[in-house]
């Protein structure tokens, strides 16, 4: 496996691969890798001839008050994991490699960025879209793999890829969870012990929403209220940032449960904000 830091060097290599007729699978990450990331790399390995994994903690998607400085990092361990998962190139640029000091271009999908995480992180998705657009231009992938854990991000990137005609197919991959149901996240290490004990209830609350819909509930406000009560009974150290039911494709709020709907939650603990979601399909 090659480790590359210079975007131009990587771009030359991927252009060469394309000329040889090889397909390229791309897995963008912020590192501190876990089973969730590895599942994306496995999918890429199975679908493409060459696999590029990037590790870049993108500063433009963090607001000044957010956890950029405390975001967990372990590049040496990550490198070994990507190599054993079958990555061909690990791309680890510095901030200066990725952002020219005079950079002035942003990519935005405002209508998809206003709800859920965008409401409390108003500049987050602009940073995500911009860095992913740049990474696509550097890596030139045929396929790019994203986790459904960040469902809103995936929906918004699908819109961006369609609108800007990137020649790439986005592949959504299911959420990988711990044995107790907590969605795997690099940020989980920043939970305090008691917070870690409460965190699995995030997923259990979403399961309750799914069960209520399966039992016939259609009024979103009532389902949300039941889940809020459940959270208040089981989670004492976390504060709900949002708990919403949205159209899974447009991320618009729903009042009534439709055939397909997404229950999504974000909760703030002392040093970490966790997100999770559940796609629910209602019988009409
Ligand atoms: P991150 O390093 O957190 O930016 O995540 C990089 C990619 O891995 C994104 O596409 C995430 O959605 C995906 N990912 C993170 N956690 C999980 C998980 N638990 N299951 C599946 N995919 C995940």
pLDDT attached to residue 283: 80
217 Cα to the center of ligand 1, angstroms: 31
Q: CA separation (Å) from 61 to 66, 104, 107?
A: 9, 15, 12
Q: How far is the CA of 180 from the centre of ligand 1 (A)?
A: 18
The active-site residue out of 34, 37, 234, 256 is 37
Q: How far is the CA of 63 from the centre of ligand 1 (A)?
A: 20
Name the one residue in this structure whose structure tokens are 């061909």: 88
203 lines ligand 1 (CB under 6 A): no
Cα 203 to the chain's mean position, in Å? 16
Is the CB of residue 277 below 6 angstroms from any atom belonging to ligand 1?
no
Task: Catalogue the E-assigned strands of the chain.
Answer: 2-4, 24-29, 50-55, 89-91, 143-147, 169-173, 239-246, 260-268, 273-281
User: Ligand 1 within 6 A of 185 CB?
Assistant: yes
Q: Indicate if the pLDDT at residue 284 is higher than 80.
A: no
> What is the band of 258 on the pLDDT scale with cuts at 50, 70, 90?
confident
Which residue CA neighbors atom 12 of ligand 1 most closely? 147
Residue 37 annotated among the catalytic residues of the structure: yes
Rounded CA-CA distance 129/168 in Å is 14
How much is the pLDDT for 138? 98
Ligand 1 pocket, residue 154 CB under 6 Å: no
pLDDT digits (tens, 9 = 90+) for 95-153: 999 999 999 999 999 999 999 999 999 999 999 999 999 999 999 999 999 999 999 99
Cα gap 51→107, rounded to integer Å: 25
State the pLDDT confidence band at 58, using cuts at 50, 70 and 90: very high
Cβ–Cβ < 8 Å for 56, 93: yes
Residue 132 beta carbon below 6 angstroms from any ligand 1 atom = no
Q: How confident is the model at residue 60 (pLDDT cuts 50, 70, 90)?
A: very high
Tens digit of pLDDT for each residue in 209-257?
999 999 999 999 999 999 999 999 999 999 999 999 999 999 999 999 9
Ligand 1 centre and the CA of 27: distance in Å? 9
Atom number in ligand 1 closest to CA 146: 10
- pLDDT value, residue 225: 98
Look at ligand 1, atom 22, and give the residue with the nearest C-alpha. 147
Is 90 exceeded by the pLDDT of residue 20?
yes
In the block, residue with structure tokens 């919403």: 244
pLDDT tens digits for range 173-205: 999 999 999 999 999 999 999 999 999 999 999
Among residues 135, 99, 130, 113, which one has the least CA distance to residue 24? Answer: 135
Name the residue among 4, 85, 78 with its Cα closest to residue 38: 85
> Is residue 53 within 6 Å of ligand 1 at its C-beta?
no
Question: How far away, in angstroms, is 111 Cα from ligand 1 center?
Answer: 23
Is the CB of 186 inside a 6 Å radius of any atom of ligand 1? yes
Tell me: pLDDT of 38 over 80: yes
Q: How far is the CA of 72 from the centre of ligand 1 (A)?
A: 14
Question: Alpha-carbon distance 54 to 29, whole Å?
Answer: 6
* Residue 141 beta carbon below 6 angstroms from any ligand 1 atom: no
| Residue-averaged pLDDT of the chain | 97
Q: Whose C-alpha lies nearest to ligand 1, atom 6?
A: 29
């Amino acid at each position: 496996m090659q480790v590359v830091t210079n975007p131009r060097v990587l771009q030359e290599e991927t252009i060469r691969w394309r000329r040889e007729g090889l397909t390229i699978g791309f897995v963008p990450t912020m590192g501190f890798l876990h089973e969730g990331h590895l599942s994306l790399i496995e999918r890429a390995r199975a679908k493409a001839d060459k696999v590029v994994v990037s590790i870049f903690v993108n500063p433009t998607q963090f607001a000044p008050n957010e956890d950029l400085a405390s975001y967990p990092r372990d590049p040496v361990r990550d490198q070994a994991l990507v190599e054993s998962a079958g990555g061909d190139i690990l791309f680890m640029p510095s901030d200066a490699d990725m952002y020219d000091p005079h950079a002035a271009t942003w990519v935005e999908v405002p209508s998809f960025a206003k709800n859920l995480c965008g409401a409390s992180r108003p500049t987050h998705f602009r940073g995500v879209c911009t860095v992913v657009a740049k990474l696509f231009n550097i890596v030139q992938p045929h396929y790019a793999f994203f986790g459904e854990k960040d469902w809103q991000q995936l929906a918004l990137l699908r819109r961006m890829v369609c609108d800007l005609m990137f020649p790439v197919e986005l592949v959504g991959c299911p959420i990988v969870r711990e044995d107790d149901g907590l969605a795997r996240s690099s940020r989980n290490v920043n939970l305090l012990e008691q917070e870690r004990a409460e965190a699995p209830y995030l997923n259990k609350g979403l399961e309750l929403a799914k069960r209520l819909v399966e039992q016939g509930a259609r009024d979103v406000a009532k389902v949300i209220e039941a889940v809020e009560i459940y959270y208040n009974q089981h989670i004492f150290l976390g504060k709900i940032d949002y708990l919403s039911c949205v159209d899974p494709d447009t991320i618009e709020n729903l009042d009534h449960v439709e055939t397909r709907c997404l229950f999504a939650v974000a909760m703030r603990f002392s040093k970490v904000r966790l997100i999770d979601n559940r796609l629910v399909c209602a019988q009409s």
